[in-house]
């Protein structure tokens, strides 16, 4: 209570210093308050408030505010916080309600941290309430190192998960946002990372509206407070000054009412020597972005915005309009109101890394991990004589984090999680065996020989953020964070071959945020568990799955090709040959795939109406039965195929998911409402319409392909639907 009172006194003193101004009057309509505040500011003061590190206006009692904050999978870069699995791992749960719960938890911690920082007088970067997440770009190519930040390759799944995350972050209070979310990077952006400051992503209208835009539209419909425009160009125009993307689609068609911000220093690319070459000066770049609707500049270009106005490059009225949009967000967050008016001002610091938050992180991590192979070695017994845990990521904290992470004092590595699970009469031995991505300099290799003496060897291999991620973060990457070689590091594979040569049980845990060439791993290991970057509870989650406390239930939100030879060139943004929707070549692991310790059958599939009109809905139902011997979660997936399209169509389109839990022998009927939107196809002009003809609807536990079944997946049930 003492902390809360100090915070209220500190914050309220600042805002009441000039309480005679109408913008301080909480009884007035918000728009009146905004107009009054703008009228009191000088040109320089107004321009300064459009920078991400907006300075204080002391004469009006307005404190400084830094807009740049991160919360991709927990409050990031701001000290202690609960660390959830990286976004691609959360996507593998296929569970939108779960992600909304995660985001709401993150928002609670964000408010608690904000309250504490305010009381301390800390207004540094990463202490605010405007979070630049989620990333809803389409993970179209496994070479993109930042694909780990996304929800995968499918526009439907990305839309559902992104919408849930926004709703959780922003809350449902009728008067205030809990935090402000951001949809990024608008709109056609997924590498190459090294070229993002100059690259032109060329796309057809079909691909634009069918693949690259749906998630952004879904988030706008969900009320996302901001949209971040990308560094690159799309079809010749910089994304942060794109008439069609920003004005025609985002503002006019979708009626977006929030604020648009630039990716960091993206406006510099307008006029830098190695950028887009759109304009010649910073003043021209600032004016162009402002007129395009970019209200907030992450960067330095808007430092010359007042001068651009004085030069006649942009009218001050345009500046005022953009500033009003920004101020609206600050008012909606309660930043201009006394704390007692804002319901979130009382959230205490005891919420940060609370026990229930840690339990949620464990639950998400457990549901995110994907079992790719199991010849029967899993689940392991907890009382074997000797467990040998090896590999460069076995005791690595970095292997749990991914990028854009927070920190936590009780992170559980894979080695620690496994050690806690086994009985006291058992041995756990550990050796890294090899480094992350370099061959051993010392020629002596004692560690691989230890596998011959163990009852089971658990090798934790894969990637970390040092190899894949954003250009400035991936300090060991020769490709600015991208993964142009696709394979696991050669030294890791060489080490795995030595371990496998002893012909003893071998389990491999793989960390990483992108598809990798796991063909050799699949052949050498008895079981393969993909752990992603699982967050602070990653070690406990993996151990729970390895020892059978929980049945694995994660599903791949992205296709794992057998090699990069199966894909078009990285720079090609056409969807032809990409993702499960258009890739005709057989992958290593298909989208939606994942094994467990039980088996499920799908039967008794039916439609409420097997013939409908193009504007009608119908209901699809199917019975799911756990025919195995253990209780388990099943991720039920609903796909549509148009059998008679007049133009290029997806092979399959995911249109629904449900996560259910069934005891052995139990059955449950799941239902999906089939809407016209589910059946619509996008034509070459970018227009979605429902064609007459025959459709096939599938319900199953994975993508309905022969490759899924060859790997041990279930057979989907299917039924025909006619649109007349």
Two structure tokens written together for 450: 């230890």
Two structure tokens written together for 306: 């007042």
Residue 275 lies in a domain: yes
Residue with tokens 């560094």: 231
E-assigned strand segments in 437-558: 456-462, 506-511, 527-532
Residue 463 lies in a domain: yes
10-14-18 Cα angle (round to 5): 150
Q: How far apart are CA 7 and CA 119, in angstroms?
A: 4
pLDDT in tens, 437-452: 999 999 889 899 999 9
pLDDT in tens, 34-88: 999 999 999 999 999 999 999 999 999 999 999 999 999 999 999 999 999 999 9
With 0-12 / 13-18 / 19 or more C-beta atoms within 10 angstroms meaning exposed / middle / buried, residue 94 is: buried
Residue 214 lies in a domain: yes
Q: How far apart are CA 114 and CA 562, in angstroms?
A: 46
Please give the pLDDT value at position 282. 98
pLDDT at 194 over 60: yes
Residues 561 and 675 in one domain: no
pLDDT at 243 over 50: yes
Residue 594 lies in a domain: no
Residue 589 lies in a domain: no
Of 346, 364, 387, the last residue of a domain is 346
Residues 369 and 240 in one domain: no
pLDDT at 623 over 60: yes
With 0-12 / 13-18 / 19 or more C-beta atoms within 10 angstroms meaning exposed / middle / buried, residue 425 is: exposed
Residue 206 lies in a domain: yes
Which residue segment(s) compose the domain that 437 sits in?
355-582
468 is catalytic: yes
Residue 16 pLDDT grade (very low, low, confident, very high; cuts 50, 70, 90): very low
Residue with tokens 């939107």: 677
Q: How far apart are CA 332 and CA 139, in angstroms?
A: 32
Q: Rounded to a whole number, what is the distance in angstroms from the first to the last CA of the chain? A: 66
Q: What is the mean pLDDT of residues 210-223?
A: 98
Residues 265 and 359 in one domain: no
Residues 624 and 509 in one domain: no
Q: How far apart are CA 268 and CA 452, in angstroms?
A: 58
Beta-bridge partner residues of 661: 633
Residue 646 pLDDT grade (very low, low, confident, very high; cuts 50, 70, 90): confident
With 0-12 / 13-18 / 19 or more C-beta atoms within 10 angstroms meaning exposed / middle / buried, residue 493 is: middle
With 0-12 / 13-18 / 19 or more C-beta atoms within 10 angstroms meaning exposed / middle / buried, residue 523 is: exposed
pLDDT at 11 over 80: no
Residue 3 pLDDT grade (very low, low, confident, very high; cuts 50, 70, 90): very low
Please tell me whether the overall predicted TM-score, pTM, comes out greater than 0.85 for this model: yes
Please give the pLDDT value at position 33. 98
Residues 174 and 291 in one domain: yes
CATH number of the domain to which 296 belongs: 3.20.20.300
Two structure tokens written together for 247: 């004005």
Smallest CA-to-CA distance from 247 within 291, 212, 195 is with 291
Residues 41 and 93 in one domain: yes
CATH number of the domain to which 717 belongs: 2.60.40.10
Report DSSP letters for 368-386, one per residue.
H-EEEEESS-PSPPS--SE
Q: What is the mean pLDDT of residues 235-240?
A: 98
> pLDDT > 70: what percent of the chain?
97
Residue 688 lies in a domain: yes
CB 399 within 8 A of CB 417: no
Residues 474 and 618 in one domain: no
Residues 418 and 315 in one domain: no
Contacts of 523 (CB under 8 A, 6+ apart): none
pLDDT at 17 over 70: no
CB 691 within 8 A of CB 681: yes
Select which of 284, 468, 526, 633 is catalytic.
468
Q: What is the mean pLDDT of residues 639-648?
A: 91
Q: How far apart are CA 612 and CA 679, in angstroms?
A: 11
Residues 556 and 616 in one domain: no
Please give the pLDDT value at position 500. 98
Q: How many beta carbons lie within 10 A of that of residue 327, not counting itself?
A: 24
What is the phi/psi pair of residue 455, to 5°? Answer: -75, -30
DSSP three-state, residue 117: helix
Two structure tokens written together for 585: 């070549």
pLDDT at 10 over 90: no
Strand ranges across the sheet with 600-607: 600-607, 618-626, 667-674
Two structure tokens written together for 698: 């599938």
Residue 249 lies in a domain: yes
Residues 258 and 338 in one domain: yes
DSSP three-state, residue 462: strand
What is the phi/psi pair of residue 16, to 5°? Answer: -100, 0
Residue 382 pLDDT grade (very low, low, confident, very high; cuts 50, 70, 90): very high
Residue 234 pLDDT grade (very low, low, confident, very high; cuts 50, 70, 90): very high
Q: What is the mean pLDDT of residues 393-415?
A: 98
Of 312, 346, 380, the last residue of a domain is 346
pLDDT in tens, 506-523: 999 999 999 999 999 999
Select which of 263, 363, 634, 691 is catalytic.
263
> pLDDT > 90: what percent of the chain?
96
- Alpha-carbon dihedral sign for residues 567, 573, 575, 579: positive
Two structure tokens written together for 288: 């162009």
With 0-12 / 13-18 / 19 or more C-beta atoms within 10 angstroms meaning exposed / middle / buried, residue 376 is: exposed
pLDDT at 359 over 60: yes
Number of domains comprising the chain: 3
Q: Which residues of 230-244 are buried (b: 16+ CB within 10 A; e: fewer)?
A: bbbbbbebbbbbbee
DSSP three-state, residue 551: coil
Ordered alpha helix ranges (H), 213-260: 214-221
Torsion of CA 645, 651, 653, 658, to 10 degrees: 140
Q: How far apart are CA 101 and CA 84, in angstroms?
A: 12
CATH number of the domain to which 520 belongs: 3.40.50.1700
What is the phi/psi pair of residue 426, to 5°? Answer: -100, 160
Kind of pairing between the strands at 632-642 and 693-700: antiparallel
Residues 212 and 340 in one domain: yes
Of 293, 325, 346, the last residue of a domain is 346
Residues 196 and 163 in one domain: yes
Average pLDDT over the chain, rounded to an integer = 96
Residue with tokens 């699995």: 85
Smallest CA-to-CA distance from 493 within 462, 467, 464, 514 is with 462
């Amino acid at each position: 209570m003492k902390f809360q009172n100090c915070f209220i006194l500190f914050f309220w003193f600042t805002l009441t210093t000039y309480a005679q101004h109408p913008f301080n009057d909480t009884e007035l309509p918000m728009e009146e308050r905004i107009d009054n505040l703008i009228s009191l500011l000088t040109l320089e003061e107004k321009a300064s408030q459009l920078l991400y590190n907006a300075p204080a206006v002391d004469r009006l009692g307005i404190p400084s505010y830094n807009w740049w904050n991160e919360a991709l999978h927990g409050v990031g870069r701001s000290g202690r916080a609960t660390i959830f699995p990286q976004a691609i791992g959360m996507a593998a749960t296929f569970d939108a309600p779960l992600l909304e719960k995660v985001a709401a938890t993150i928002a609670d911690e964000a408010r608690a941290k904000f309250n504490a920082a305010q009381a301390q007088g800390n207004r540094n970067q990463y202490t605010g309430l405007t979070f630049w997440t989620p990333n809803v770009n389409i993970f179209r190519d496994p070479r993109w190192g930042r694909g780990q930040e996304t929800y995968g390759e499918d526009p439907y799944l990305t839309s559902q998960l992104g919408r849930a995350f926004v709703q959780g972050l922003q809350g449902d209070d009728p008067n205030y946002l809990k935090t402000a979310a951001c949809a990024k990077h608008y709109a056609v952006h997924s590498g190459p990372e090294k070229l993002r400051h100059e690259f032109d992503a060329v796309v057809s209208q079909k691909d634009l509206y069918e693949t690259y835009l749906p998630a952004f539209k879904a988030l706008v419909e969900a009320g996302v407070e901001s949209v971040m425009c990308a560094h690159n160009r799309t079809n010749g125009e910089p994304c942060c000054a794109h008439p069609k993307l920003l004005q025609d689609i985002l503002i006019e068609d979708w009626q977006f009412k929030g604020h648009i911000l630039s990716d960091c220093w993206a406006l510099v690319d307008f006029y830098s020597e190695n950028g887009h070459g759109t304009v010649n000066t910073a003043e021209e770049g600032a004016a162009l972005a402002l007129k395009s609707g970019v209200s907030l500049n992450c960067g330095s270009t808007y430092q010359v915005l007042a001068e651009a106005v004085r030069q006649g490059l942009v009218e001050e009225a345009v500046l005022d309009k953009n500033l009003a949009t920004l101020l609206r967000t600050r008012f909606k967050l309660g930043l201009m109101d006394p704390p007692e008016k804002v319901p979130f001002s009382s959230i205490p610091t005891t919420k940060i890394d609370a026990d229930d938050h840690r339990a949620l992180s464990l639950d998400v991590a457990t549901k995110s991990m994907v079992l790719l192979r199991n010849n029967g070695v899993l689940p392991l017994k907890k009382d074997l004589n000797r467990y040998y845990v090896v590999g460069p990521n076995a005791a690595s904290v970095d292997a749990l984090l991914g990028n854009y992470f927070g920190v936590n004092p009780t992170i559980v590595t894979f080695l620690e999680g496994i050690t806690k699970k086994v009985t006291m009469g058992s041995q756990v031995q550990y050796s890294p065996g090899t480094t992350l991505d370099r061959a051993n300099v010392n020629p002596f290799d004692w560690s691989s020989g230890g596998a011959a003496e163990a009852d089971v060897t658990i090798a934790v291999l894969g990637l970390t953020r040092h190899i894949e991620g954003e250009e400035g973060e991936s300090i060991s990457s020769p490709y600015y964070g991208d993964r142009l070689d696709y394979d696991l590091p050669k030294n890791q594979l060489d080490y795995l071959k030595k371990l496998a040569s002893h012909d003893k049980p071998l389990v491999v845990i793989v960390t990483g945020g992108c598809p990798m060439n796991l063909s050799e791993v699949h052949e050498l290991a008895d079981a393969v568990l993909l752990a992603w970057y699982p967050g602070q509870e990653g070690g406990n989650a993996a151990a729970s799955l390895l020892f059978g406390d929980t049945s694995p239930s994660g599903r791949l939100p992205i296709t794992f090709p057998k090699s990069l030879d199966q894909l078009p060139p990285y720079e090609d943004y056409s969807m032809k040959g990409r993702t499960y929707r258009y890739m005709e070549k057989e992958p290593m692991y298909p989208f939606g795939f994942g094994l467990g310790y039980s088996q499920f059958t799908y039967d008794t599939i039916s439609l409420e109406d097997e013939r409908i009109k193009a504007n009608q809905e119908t209901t699809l139902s199917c019975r799911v039965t756990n025919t195995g011997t253990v209780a388990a979660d099943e991720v039920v997936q609903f796909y549509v195929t148009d059998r008679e399209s007049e133009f290029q169509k997806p092979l399959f389109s995911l249109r629904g998911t449900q996560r259910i839990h069934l005891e052995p022998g139990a059955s449950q009927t799941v239902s999906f409402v089939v809407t016209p939107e589910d059946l619509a196809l996008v034509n070459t002009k970018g227009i979605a319409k429902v064609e007459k003809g025959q459709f096939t609807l599938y319900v199953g536990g994975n993508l309905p392909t022969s490759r899924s079944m060859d790997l041990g997946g279930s057979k989907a049930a299917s039924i025909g639907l006619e649109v007349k």
